[in-house]
Structure 1
Amino acid sequence: MEVDPSTAEASGSKATNPAPFVEEPLVPKKKKEKREPAKVERPPGKTLLPVSKVQHIIKADKDIAIVAKEATFLICCAAEEFIKRFGEAAMVLAERDKRTTLQYKDIATVVRKADEFLFLEEIIPWTIPEAPAKRKVKDSNILASGAPTLLDQFMVKPGGDSGEEPRIIINEDGTMQVADSEMTDDFV
């Protein structure tokens, strides 16, 4: 009796082997194609900035009582033009450094170099204000000179010179100071 291979597999007399794992060849990632920035054109009579938000900003000034709708529209158009010029000037600096992303240094440089943006000099500082430290700094790195700081006056160090703690005075305006030993007698 001959066994049909198709029925033999179905009846389970012959063990089936799963298909071997076939690796797909690795395809190198394509470089991102440079694409042109989208041209955004303002339709006539409309603005790209939300008019309601601009009205809200205008109303924040207590000196201005009422602003006409047409005046708000013109303020929106002027703000769009300002942002466009400011961005283009900063983008020129970024492209000189062969970058496609604007950085703070590009914007700060434009403020310092272009006369039309010089009024922003006080608003946009040359350097970014330092963010608070994320990790604890070792005591040896704080002051190389070893000179005491203002904070050292308020800190109680174990095994200090004198057994008594310094007296801290809180002023009416909320500031604190350390009372000198001569001054302590006046306050007691």
Structure 2
Amino acid sequence: MPAVNVVEVNPALGVEAAPKKKREKREPPKVERPPGKTLLPISKVQHIIKADKDIAIVAKEATFLICCATEEFIKRFGEAAMALAEREKRTTMQYKDMATVVRKADEFLFLEEIIPWTLPDAPAKRKVKASNILTGASTMLDQFVVKPNEAAGEEPRIIMNEDGTIGDSEMADDFV
């Protein structure tokens, strides 16, 4: 019996669509550092090192070793957080994965202040009552926005001072 292809037709467009394929899992590409080279730009690392006023001169070999150590740190931290995400059957690493790794692994405990644990139970956002907006009823904010003179129906008097500044009449009477 011959294989039958199922073709979906979109009535809105009148075009045949190809059948949906399941997403194939592919292995991430292996990034290898050639000997004597680093994945991080050495010039940027040198600028970061020079930002510390206490360090006068740093040898190129020392800068290279700092780059290699930084790469290894990022690699280990990323792998630990990704392993946690995979345990939860996710393919995307999230902030909570990194925060959990910082709390659980002694190796990354020094990052506790930089990557704080976020509270999983964030307070719910307060909803604005639609009835106040639609009816035009006054809210608590109106007490602070509306001036007392305007609330009583009086128009505030604005006068021009001799020096060119604008002020209201009540303030001008205080200085006379």
* TM-score of the aligned structures, taking structure 2 as reference length: 0.61
Counterpart in 2 of 1:72? 63
Residue 121 of structure 1: aligned partner: 112
Q: Deviations over 1:124-152 (max 9, x none)?
A: 11118xxxxxx996279xxxxxxxxxx97
SS at match of 1:155: helix
- Say which of 52, 55, 80 aligns to 2:43: 52
Cα distance in 2 for partners of 1:61, 1:139 equals: 53
Match 1:97 to one of 82, 88, 91 = 88
In the alignment, the residues of structure 2 paired with residue 60 and residue 116 of structure 1 have an alpha-carbon distance, to the nearest angstrom, of: 26
Q: How far does residue 27 in structure 1 lie from its aligned partner after superposition?
A: 2.5
Partner of 1:43: 34
Q: CA deviation at 1:97?
A: 1.0
| Equivalent runs, 1:125-140 vs 2, <5 Å | 125-127=116-118, 138=128
Per-residue CA deviations over 1:36-70 (Å, capped at 9, x if unaligned) read 01111100000011101111111111111110000
Q: How does 1:1-188 map to 2 (within 5 A)?
A: 25-127=16-118, 138=128, 155-156=144-145
The CA distance in 1 between the partners of 2:115 and 2:17, in whole Å, is 48
* Cα distance change, pair 62–139 in 1 and its aligned pair in 2 (3 A): farther
Looking at structure 1, the residues matched to 58 and 126 of structure 2 have their Cα atoms a distance apart, in angstroms, of: 52
Aligned length in residues = 122
Distance between the aligned counterparts of 1:25 and 1:137, measured in 2? 45
How far, CA to CA, are the matches of 1:109 and 1:58 in structure 2? 30
| TM superposition outliers: structure 1 runs of 4+ over 6 Å | none
Q: Structure 1 unaligned runs (5+)?
A: 1-22, 129-134, 141-150, 164-188
1: CA distance, partners of 2:46 / 2:128: 51
Q: Distance in 1 between matches of 2:126 and 2:94?
A: 28
